[in-house]
């Protein structure tokens, strides 16, 4: 289980012949894999790298918004 609480969107890409995992709150943060599970595992590594890169650039790390509440 990830220590980060960001939304991950996983979908199949015919073009890449792989599952793609993207994080809407972290621009450009994405990974792929031959299976759903592998894409999810790979994106956990990319999240760590993305956050380290942003920190070293002195930029702010987005806070995970959590689940949206509807009335």
- 66 belongs to a structural domain: no
Q: According to the model, what pLDDT value does residue 70 have?
A: 53
The domain of 22 spans 9-56
- 18 belongs to a structural domain: yes
- 4 belongs to a structural domain: no
- 2 belongs to a structural domain: no
* Residues 51, 55, 59: CA angle, nearest 5 degrees: 105
Domain tally, the chain: 1
The whole-model pTM stands at 0.82
**Distance from chain centroid for Cα 60:** 17
- 17 belongs to a structural domain: yes
- 25 belongs to a structural domain: yes
Q: According to the model, what pLDDT value does residue 67 have?
A: 66
Q: According to the model, what pLDDT value does residue 68 have?
A: 60
- 61 belongs to a structural domain: no
pLDDT digits (tens, 9 = 90+) for 6-61: 999 999 999 999 999 999 999 999 999 999 999 999 999 999 999 999 999 999 99
**Distance from chain centroid for Cα 29:** 5
């Amino acid at each position: 289980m990830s220590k980060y609480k960001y939304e991950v969107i996983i979908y199949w890409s015919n073009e890449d012949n792989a599952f793609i995992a993207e994080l809407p709150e972290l621009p450009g943060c994405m990974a792929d894999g031959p299976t759903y599970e592998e894409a999810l595992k790979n994106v956990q590594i990319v999240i760590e790298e993305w956050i380290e890169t942003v920190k070293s650039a002195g930029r702010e790390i987005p806070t995970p918004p959590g689940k949206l509440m509807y009335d």
